[in-house]
Amino acid sequence: MRQYFVLFIFGIILAFSSCRTDFDTVASSGDLKFSKDTVYLDTVFKNIGSSTYQLKVYNRSKNDISIPTIQLKKGLSSKYRMTVDGMSGNNGKIFKDVTLLAKDSLYIFIETTADITDANPTDFLYTDEIQFDSGANLQQVALVTLIQDAVFLYPKQNPDGTKEKIQIDGKAVDGFYLNENDPVNGNELLFTKQKPYVIYGFAGVPQSKTVTFEAGARVFFHANSGLYIDNKASLHINGTVSTTDKLENEVVFEGDRLESLYDDIPGQWNSVILSNGSTNHTINHLTLKNAIIGLNIKNQDNTTIQLKNTQIYNCVEYGILAQNARINGENIVINYAGLASLSCVYGGNYSFTHCTFNNSWSGSAQFAVNLSNNLAGQTPETNPLTQATFNNCIIYGSGTNEFNLNKNTSAAFVYQLNNCLLKFSSTTTNPDYQFKTDAVHYNNIILNGNPKFYNVSQNKFNIDNTSAAFAKGNQAYIIPQDILGVTRTSPPDLGAYQSAVFPK
């Protein structure tokens, strides 16, 4: 009997609630609370949509309320757009009679797409505000966005509606060749610091041409985009040392999402590809981050890449993938790569001095440095590694062993580490990893010493005088200045940074 009584009462409650089609509300009294008083939408390029930002609105009262109007101050002409608790209102600009229950909250999601001409000409800020109600009950939340002008480079659209394409490794990909006499952009083979550049698809450098990046140039790559240096073409990156944290003289390659959320997300764009037969490359003071492969060097010709004062971070696969390449590297820093920070495969000729190769990618299958004289699918599958020399370097990371040799005895495999700090924690009888007794390949190795980097998660690989790398370098290999332009002392520290006193 008791069961029937409970079911009867439940049925009455259900019937009553199902008959109610609205709530009794009172008008908003202007006492709404907000999760923030200003919504800062991070920097966006002109006419490129922003990420979506959130504002939470609270009703702290005991009454269900009705907000007569939620709208953008600039009304239908505003470059911002909103949804309010999933509703789109009038073009995302104006919302009428919005109900907010007692002790409850609602979400407002905000986006923007604006031109540089919409912004304030003195500070390039585009602003508006969300207004709640009007008159004596008016409440406001400010909206602020920095709009950045840029040069946009992208594949043209063909008459049939398809995009322009170029050939990379025998595959047609969305891309275009840079034009030194473009009717709109002028010389597209010269990148200056006057405006940032945004690239869609692969920007190709035509055969026998040279692309030059001046100090301070900023290049932002859209998803699946990159830079392709064709056969007999050259890449010249002419950055110089900067004096502030803004890297004002560095050349910077990164993804085109400027919001802080994307600062360190790997894989936002593809790669810089130095193709088979490309030639005469010089790279100085380049910061490259958040690619799939940072520098992808394929069967380079007999010239040697001069790669100096370069930082590469947060790559899905490799910081540098060199296939039968020739590289002279000085003051290079690489960190966070899903497979290897530096991978030299299918032979080649390499010299690295005062470099910091670290890999703190989360996982256990990656290396800081990988060397190989073979490559599956190539004909032949082996190629001589004629030299791989590391002088005054740090090879470290979060894994157990950060140095890997993949040697095929059918081709030459010549390598040597001199005065290096190396992480290799496993005990092995493999003759290739006898760091203390193999004087042909290893000299003055500091095995598993702690470099005490300043802040690995922020890619700050400075050291101080408590580091195991402090003053352990060989003067014979010294590069006079470190990656920041600081003069090295004698004996020099290992790695790309001369030691300094860290701030407290």
Q: What is the pTM of this model?
A: 0.88
Residues 6+ apart with CB under 8 A from 103: 59, 60, 61, 62
Helix (H) or strand (E) holding 417: strand 416-418
How far is it, in rounded angstroms, from Cα 272 to Cα 284? Answer: 15
In the prediction, which pLDDT does 18 show? 43
Instruction: Walk along the chain (504 residues) and give the pLDDT tens digit of each residue.
Output: 455 444 455 554 444 444 444 457 888 889 999 999 999 998 999 999 999 999 999 999 999 999 999 999 999 999 999 999 999 999 999 999 999 999 999 999 999 999 999 999 988 999 999 999 999 999 999 999 999 999 999 999 888 888 899 999 999 999 999 999 999 999 999 999 999 999 999 999 999 999 999 999 999 999 999 999 999 999 999 999 998 888 999 999 999 998 888 999 999 999 999 999 999 999 999 999 999 999 999 988 889 999 999 999 999 999 999 999 999 999 999 999 999 999 999 999 999 999 999 999 998 789 999 999 999 888 889 999 999 999 999 999 999 999 999 999 999 999 999 999 999 998 899 999 999 999 999 999 999 999 999 999 999 999 999 999 999 999 999 999 999 999 999 999 999 999 987 654
Query: Cβ of 215: how many Cβ atoms within 10 Å?
Result: 18
21 burial (CB, 10 Å; 0-12 / 13-18 / 19+) is exposed
Q: What's at 269, amino acid-wise?
A: W
User: To 10 degrees, the CA torsion angle through 469, 471, 477, 483?
Assistant: 70
Contact yes or no for 347/383 (Cβ under 8 A): yes
In the prediction, which pLDDT does 11 show? 52
3-class secondary structure, 12: helix
In the prediction, which pLDDT does 245 show? 86
Query: Cβ of 427: how many Cβ atoms within 10 Å?
Result: 6
Tokens of residue 157, six digits: 């659209």
482 closest CA partner among 463, 465, 469, 495: 495
319 closest CA partner among 207, 230, 397, 408: 397
Tokens of residue 224, six digits: 């699946």
Give the CA angle between residues 272, 278, 284 to the nearest 5°: 55
How far is it, in rounded angstroms, from Cα 356 to Cα 493? Answer: 11
Strand blocks (E) in 154-281: 165-168, 171-177, 190-191, 197-199, 202-205, 210-214, 218-221, 226-229, 234-238, 251-255, 269-274
How far is it, in rounded angstroms, from Cα 419 to Cα 93? Answer: 64
Q: What are phi and psi of 76, to 5 degrees?
A: -65, -15
3-class secondary structure, 183: coil
Residues 6+ apart with CB under 8 A from 163: 155, 156, 157, 174, 201
Distances (CA, A) of 45 to 150, 188, 189, 253: 7, 19, 22, 16
Q: Which residue has the tokens 């980097």?
A: 453
Give the CA angle between residues 129, 255, 227 to the nearest 5°: 145
How far is it, in rounded angstroms, from Cα 52 to Cα 109? Answer: 6
In the prediction, which pLDDT does 267 show? 97
Q: What's at 379, amino acid-wise?
A: T
Tokens of residue 283, six digits: 């790279």
Residues 6+ apart with CB under 8 A from 93: 71, 72, 75, 76, 78, 80, 81, 82
In the prediction, which pLDDT does 430 show? 94
In the prediction, which pLDDT does 503 show? 59
Contact yes or no for 443/416 (Cβ under 8 A): yes
